Amino acid sequence: MLRKGKGLRLNVEGVQLVQTDFSQGHCYTYSLKILPEITIANRVQIFAGPTVNLQLDYSDGAISGLSSNHFWTTTGLNGHFIGSYFGLSGGLKIIL
């Protein structure tokens, strides 16, 4: 976390998401997010920014809902799909 001034903050996150249906396989998605955050009220902040994602699909597309928006793809040793894509993430943070 980088802090600049009183109301602006820069968060960097690493995320791993695992999707499975417990029968056809599983899909891993790894994300790196860079999220500038702005304080808009005493305990309310908004954030949004780009993400870079890496997807490893061991379900032959049955779980992940693969799209054609990957900028890089390949096939793993066991024939599973590997691909990278860009995205956006954002949200509203309320501090209780």
Q: What is the pLDDT of residues 47-92, one digit of tens each?
A: 999 999 999 888 776 665 666 688 888 888 888 888 999 999 999 9
Q: What's the first-to-final CA gap in the chain, in angstroms? A: 20
Of 1-10, 31-40, 57-66, give the range with the top mean pLDDT: 31-40
Mean pLDDT of the chain: 86
Dist CA 55 CA 87 (whole Å): 12
Alpha helices in 1-96 (DSSP H): none
Q: In the numeric block, which tokens belong to residue 17? A: 């998401």
Q: Is the pLDDT of residue 31 over 70?
A: yes
Dist CA 21 CA 72 (whole Å): 26
Give the pLDDT score at 21: 81
Question: Which of 53, 67, 68 shows the shortest CA–CA distance to 15?
Answer: 53
